[in-house]
Amino acid sequence: GFLPYQGHIVRNWKVRWFVLLQDKLLYYKIEGGKKEPSPKGRILLDGCTITCPCLEYENRPLLIKLKTKTNTDYFLECCSREERDSWALDITGAIHAGHPVQVQELHRMKNSFKLLENISLHNIVERMYDSSTGIKLTRNLDQGSRYKETFTGSALVDWLISNSFAVSRFEAVTLASMLMDENFIRPVGVRSTEATRSSDPSEKFLDDSTALYMFAESSKKNTSSKEEVHFNISELSGKIVKQGFLVKQGHKRKNWKVRKFVLRADPAFLHYYDPTKEENKPVGGFSLRGCLVSALEDNGVPAGVKGNVQGNLFKIITKNDIHYYIQASSKAERVQWIEAIKPLT
């Protein structure tokens, strides 16, 4: 599948098509909408160590870090917590292929706690922002530094339980850790920041009255008008139905680029992000109301499509008659996206 990764010489982020084999990870470049026949590079897994979750980059909370036995670091980024954990589990299984007991233990740890189906992290954050029933934001002092609009770890745990998002402090800490992993909240101050370096996932978020946290967006507020901010919040507040990497044809240059697509319901929007950029903001998107979505045949290049594309194309036509041409990585994935989008149009 597609994963952004950081280059070794020029430390920028690129998107490549990764293929996991028994002893190595191969990655390919996408050129003109088609995967190149030869790998761009490979990561040998023999003697590799894996770190997941990896919190070395504040704006990229869904990273996997691989360190080869020659001490070369690879940082790979996923679309969601579930995708990250799935990749990490499969890569770890390849690294420890000769040690089935360790792989079984990884599966047990992965399935030890599951977020309830009816709980949405976006819904929790929206409730946290509520001016009357949300979490109370206060000014705090930590080792001489003043922080505005913060809350303590124990205050968030109390709030999650009192609002019935969790029934125990353990569940509330797990939810709070997910909010931090997904970059909805971030630690501030020495105590909470140091905890994120713990090797034990259960100790990364502190249920403590001296550990400070804040909304991840609090330090990035701009001077946009209230109307614009309100529009953006409402547009991006819907429940995430599906997300993943797809290849999209540009409107002007007609070149093909990998984008992270996020499909939301209530309100129904499809946004796309540039995974090579540091800021987690959409570079485009549109309302799905009144849209038409359909698969395109793979025998030949349809009208309006440029380049020697791989296939698995589908098209979305907005109510304003704007045509979006998108490539999935397989026929099955194309069907999944079309079936997810259709009910929201």
Is residue 207 over pLDDT 80? yes
Whole-number pLDDT of residue 238: 79
**CA distance linking residue 73 with residue 104, whole number of Å:** 26
Prediction pTM value: 0.64
Long-range contacts, 266-273 (Cβ 8 Å, 24+): 266/238, 266/239, 267/234, 267/235, 267/237, 267/238, 268/238, 268/344, 268/345, 269/235, 269/236, 269/238, 270/316, 270/341, 271/235, 271/236, 272/246, 272/248
Q: Model confidence at 282, in pLDDT bands (50, 70, 90)?
A: confident
More confident residue, 62 or 310: 62
Q: What is the DSSP letter of 303?
A: T
Is residue 337 over pLDDT 70? yes
Question: Hey, do 2-111 and 233-342 end up sharing a CATH topology, with the first three levels equal?
Answer: yes
Residue 288 identity = L
Whole-number pLDDT of residue 86: 87
Over residues 211-220, the pLDDT tens digits come to 899 998 764 4
SS3 of the chain: helix, strand, coil, percent, to 5: 25, 30, 40
Whole-number pLDDT of residue 140: 76
Is residue 221 over pLDDT 50? no
Lookup: tokens for 169: 């402090």
DSSP 3-state of 106: helix
Q: What is the DSSP letter of 256?
A: E
Mean pLDDT of 266-291: 88
Of the options 2.120.10.30, 3.90.850.10, 2.30.29.30, 3.40.50.620, the CATH number for the domain spanning 233-342: 2.30.29.30
Over residues 94-132, the pLDDT tens digits come to 888 755 555 555 555 555 445 554 567 888 988 899 888
Do the beta carbons of residue 140 and residue 134 sit within 8 Å?
A: no
Domain 121-215 grouped into CATH 1.10.10.10? yes
% of the chain surpassing 90 pLDDT: 33
Over residues 260-276, the pLDDT tens digits come to 999 999 889 999 999 98
Delimit the domains of the chain by residue range.
Answer: 2-111, 121-215, 233-342
Whole-number pLDDT of residue 314: 94
Q: Which residues pair with 264 in a beta bridge?
A: 240, 269
Q: Model confidence at 228, in pLDDT bands (50, 70, 90)?
A: very low
Whole-number pLDDT of residue 178: 85
Whole-number pLDDT of residue 258: 93
Q: Calculate the average pLDDT of the chain.
A: 82
Whole-number pLDDT of residue 229: 36
Residue among 293, 294, 338, 331 nearest 311 (CA): 331
Q: Which CATH architecture group holds 2-111? A: Roll (2.30)
Is residue 294 over pLDDT 50? yes
Q: Model confidence at 43, in pLDDT bands (50, 70, 90)?
A: very high
